[in-house]
Amino acid sequence: MSQPITQTRSTAESFPRLHARTRRFTLGAPRGVTVSPDGGRVVFLRSRSGTDPVTCLWSLEVETGEERLIADPRELDTTDVEDLPAEERARRERAREQAGGVVGYATDRAVTRAVFPLSGKLYLVEFAGGLTPRLIETDGAVIDPRLDPTGARIAFVSGGALHVHLIAARLTETLLEPEADDVTYGLADFVAAEEIDRMRGFWWSPEGDALVVARVDESAVPVWHIADPANPDRVPTPVRYPAAGTTNPAVSLDVVGLDGRRTPIGWDAGRDEYVVDVVWDDRGLFVVVQPRDQKALRMLRVDPATGATTLVDEETDPVWVDATPGLRVHAASGALVKLAHRDGAHRVLVDGEPVTPPEIQVRSLLDVDGDTLLVSGSTTPASVRLWTWSPADGLVPASPEEGVHSGRLAAGTLVRTSTDLASPATTTVRAAGIEREIASYAAEPGLDLRISLHRAGERRLQTAVLMPSWWEPGIPLPVLMDPYGGPHGQRVYAARNPHLTSQWFAEQGFAVVVVDGRGMPGRGPEFERAVHLDLAGPVLDDQVDALRALAVENPDLDLTRVGIRGWSFGGFLAALAVLRRPDVFHAAVAGAPVTDWELYDTHYTERYLGRPDREPAAYERSSLLTDAATPASGDRPHRPLMIIHGLADDNVVAAHTLRLSSALLAAGRPHQVLPLSGVTHMTPQEVVAENLLLLQVRFLRDALGVPAPPV
Band (pLDDT 50/70/90 cuts) for residue 11 is: very low
From the list 383, 421, 380, 422, the residue with the least C-alpha distance to 399 is 383
**In which domain, by residue range, is 476 found?**
451-704
Sequence letter at residue 393: D
- Whether the pLDDT of residue 78 is over 80: the answer is no
From the list 154, 245, 92, the residue with the least C-alpha distance to 614 is 245
Measured CA to CA, the distance from residue 563 to residue 701 in angstroms comes to 9
State the alpha helices, DSSP H only, in 96-214. Answer: 190-191
The per-residue pLDDT for 10 is 37
**Number of structural domains in the chain:** 1
pLDDT digits (tens, 9 = 90+) for 401-452: 999 999 999 999 999 999 999 999 999 999 998 999 999 999 999 998 999 9
| Contact yes or no for 502/483 (Cβ under 8 A) | no
Measured CA to CA, the distance from residue 70 to residue 114 in angstroms comes to 10
pLDDT digits (tens, 9 = 90+) for 474-487: 999 999 999 999 99
If DSSP codes are grouped into helix, strand and coil, which group holds residue 213? strand
pLDDT digits (tens, 9 = 90+) for 256-277: 999 999 999 999 999 999 999 9
Tell me, yes or no, whether 578 lies in a domain.
yes
From the list 618, 551, 624, 619, the residue with the least C-alpha distance to 588 is 624
DSSP structure class, residue 247: P
State the alpha helices, DSSP H only, in 272-372. Answer: none
Percentage of the chain exceeding pLDDT 90: 87
Tell me, yes or no, whether 663 lies in a domain.
yes
From the list 139, 186, 193, the residue with the least C-alpha distance to 161 is 186
Band (pLDDT 50/70/90 cuts) for residue 327 is: confident
Measured CA to CA, the distance from residue 493 to residue 339 in angstroms comes to 22
User: Using only C-alpha atoms, what is the Rg of the chain?
Assistant: 25
- Whether the pLDDT of residue 83 is over 80: the answer is no
Tell me, yes or no, whether 534 lies in a domain.
yes
Residue 662 backbone dihedrals phi, psi, to 5 degrees: -65, -40
pLDDT digits (tens, 9 = 90+) for 165-222: 999 999 999 999 999 999 999 999 999 999 999 999 999 999 999 999 999 999 999 9
Q: Which helix (H) or strand (E) holds 256?
A: strand 250-257
Tell me, yes or no, whether 15 lies in a domain.
no
Give the up-direction half-sphere exposure of residue 550: CA atoms within 13 A in the CB hemisphere: 29
- Which whole number is the average pLDDT over 384-393? 98
Tell me, yes or no, whether 56 lies in a domain.
no
Measured CA to CA, the distance from residue 536 to residue 522 in angstroms comes to 21
Nearest 5°: CA angle at 332, between 330 and 338?
25
List the beta bridge partners of residue 329.
337
The per-residue pLDDT for 710 is 75
Tell me, yes or no, whether 607 lies in a domain.
yes
pLDDT digits (tens, 9 = 90+) for 508-536: 999 999 999 999 999 999 999 999 999 99
This prediction's pTM: 0.94
Sequence letter at residue 581: R
Sequence letter at residue 702: D
Band (pLDDT 50/70/90 cuts) for residue 82 is: low
Measured CA to CA, the distance from residue 560 to residue 220 in angstroms comes to 51
CA 532 to chain centre: 21
Q: What is the 3-state secondary structure (H, E, C) of 348-404?
A: EEECCEECCCCCCEEEEEEEEECCEEEEEEECCCCCEEEEEEECCCEEEECCCCCCE
Tell me, yes or no, whether 613 lies in a domain.
yes
- Whether the pLDDT of residue 9 is over 50: the answer is no
Band (pLDDT 50/70/90 cuts) for residue 42 is: very high
Measured CA to CA, the distance from residue 176 to residue 260 in angstroms comes to 7
Average pLDDT score over the chain:
94
If DSSP codes are grouped into helix, strand and coil, which group holds residue 297? strand
| Contact yes or no for 198/188 (Cβ under 8 A) | yes
Band (pLDDT 50/70/90 cuts) for residue 79 is: low
The per-residue pLDDT for 130 is 76
The per-residue pLDDT for 5 is 38
The per-residue pLDDT for 707 is 85
Query: Best-predicted range by mean pLDDT among 18-22, 59-63, 79-83, 129-133?
Result: 59-63
| Contact yes or no for 608/667 (Cβ under 8 A) | no
Rounded to the nearest 5 percent, the helix, strand and coil shares of the chain are 20, 35, 45
pLDDT digits (tens, 9 = 90+) for 280-312: 999 999 999 999 999 999 999 999 999 999 999
Tell me, yes or no, whether 36 lies in a domain.
no
Measured CA to CA, the distance from residue 502 to residue 449 in angstroms comes to 10
Range in 76-85, 235-244, 390-399, 659-668 with the lowest mean pLDDT: 76-85
The per-residue pLDDT for 90 is 79
Range in 94-98, 484-488, 580-584, 672-676 with the lowest mean pLDDT: 94-98
- Whether the pLDDT of residue 331 is over 90: the answer is yes
The per-residue pLDDT for 448 is 84
- Whether the pLDDT of residue 555 is over 50: the answer is yes
The per-residue pLDDT for 633 is 85
DSSP structure class, residue 196: I
- Whether the pLDDT of residue 340 is over 90: the answer is yes
Q: Residue 604: give its domain's CATH number.
A: 3.40.50.1820
